[in-house]
Amino acid sequence: MKQQALRNKLDAMAQLPGVNGCALVEIDAGMVWHHAGQIEGVQTFAEAASDYWRLYGRLAGQFQDLGELRASIMMHAHGRLTLLPCGGGMLLVSLTAGQKSGLDWNQWQAHAQELAQLVNLL
């Protein structure tokens, strides 16, 4: 039941205007738990993007004066990857169309917080 609620929430996030896809990835293993979206390759993007987060983990000492990393955003020529911790040991990876995607980031953050709560219930 809790797994289905988690999937439903991730599916709802993927339906937000401006979101092309999203996934929940186990940080340590890089394993995708669930993915959703309108483009092919969401799972592949998510697995690869989680490497960015693990790289930060290995180099965190170099950035300790900045404090804990809360999110990572990579702007590519054809889209944006946003990585955000999402509950214990999980990472939310979102693919959006870029700066002019029309995404309501406040709504996105509310969904991400609800998703993190569901992850923590598992």
First to last CA, the chain: 10
Amino acid 97: pLDDT = 83
Using a 10 angstrom Cβ sphere, with 0-12 exposed, 13-18 middle and 19 or more buried, the burial of residue 76 is exposed
Tokens 């991730």 identify what position? 10
- For 56-115, the pLDDT digits (tens) are 989 999 999 999 899 999 998 888 999 999 999 999 999 988 666 688 889 999 999 999
CA distances to 50, 62, 78, 101, 102 from 85, rounded to whole Å, are: 11, 20, 24, 22, 23
More confident residue, 38 or 118: 118
Q: Is the pLDDT of residue 39 over 90?
A: no
Output the pLDDT for position 41.
Answer: 82
pLDDT at 89: 93
Spatial neighbors of 102 by CB under 8 A, at least 6 apart, are: 17, 18
Measured in residues, the chain has a length of 122
pLDDT of 108 reads 92
Name, in order, each residue with C-beta under 8 angstroms of 32's C-beta and a sequence gap of 6 or more. Answer: 23, 24, 25, 26, 43, 46, 47
pLDDT of the residue at 38: 80
The pair phi, psi for residue 98, each rounded to 5°, is 115, -165
Residue 107's pLDDT is what? 93
Q: What is the pLDDT of residues 11-34, one digit of tens each?
A: 999 999 999 999 999 999 999 999
pLDDT of residue 3: 87
Please report the beta strands in the chain, taking only residues with DSSP state E, as ranges in sequence order.
19-26, 32-37, 72-76, 79-85, 90-96
Q: Which domains does the chain have, with CATH numbers?
A: 2-121 (3.30.450.30)
pTM: 0.91
Whole-number pLDDT of residue 117 = 94
